Amino acid sequence: MAWFPLESNPDVMNKFMQKLGVPDKWNIVDVYGLESEALAWVPKPVLAVILLFPYSEKHHNYATEQNERLKVSGQDVSPNVYFLKQVVSNACGTIALVHSVANNCDRIELAEGKFKELLSVSKNMSPEDRGTLLQSVAGQIMNVHQELAQEGQTELNPNESVNHHFVAFVEKEGNLYELDGRKEFPINHGPSSPETLLEDAAKICKEFMTRDAEDVNFTVLALTAQEA
């Protein structure tokens, strides 16, 4: 079964998170530029960065080469990184939000509900089993996704080919991780910190844009809290 694609719309994403138990102090906001002046306007703290990018042949070829290279060279990945595989079409927006929240549960106090239950049940599962659980067991999460994916759109076909894809970037134990449910494993992009996560992720987002320089259809979002 295919899901409706989720919009890269902060209002829709925030409703999604709040319906699943994320306190409303945490919000998805637009990141309007990747230079330091624009990044300075993003509310702090930043817990995750989400990139929506065109899933082009160039990206597919790069991702395939990267996967093979890392399988040979290896990389350090913390066992505490929560990662799940995408096993259903068009679920990448939801998976990016799950990755963003699940890797920050030490700072986000989730309310009781299906989202917290999903994370608890799947804590020791493989990425593949987590993806299957999201599809087959967490019906309420899928229902919220389907409901909000249709907000503000006139026509949606879940079986229509979608050529854009969401990934999340989080900092965990001193490293920046790219979490993409279509990949075999998290990608460790090197040293980072809670204070530099936004700037470090922005550099990787620029690399995505450089690889597809003729396409301008990129959107960057951040999971933040507006602290008083």
Query: Which active-site residues does the annotation give?
Result: 92, 165
List, as one string, the DSSP characters of the chain.
Answer: -PPPPPPS-HHHHHHHHHHTT--TTEEEEEE--SSHHHHTTS-S-EEEEEEEEE--HHHHHHHHHHHHHHHHH-----TT-------STT-HHHHHHHHHHHTTTTTS-PPSSHHHHHHHHTTTS-HHHHHHHHHHT-HHHHHHHHHHHTTT-S---TTS---EEEEEEEEETTEEEEE-TTSSS-EEEEE--TTTHHHHHHHHHHHHHHHTTT----EEEEEEE---
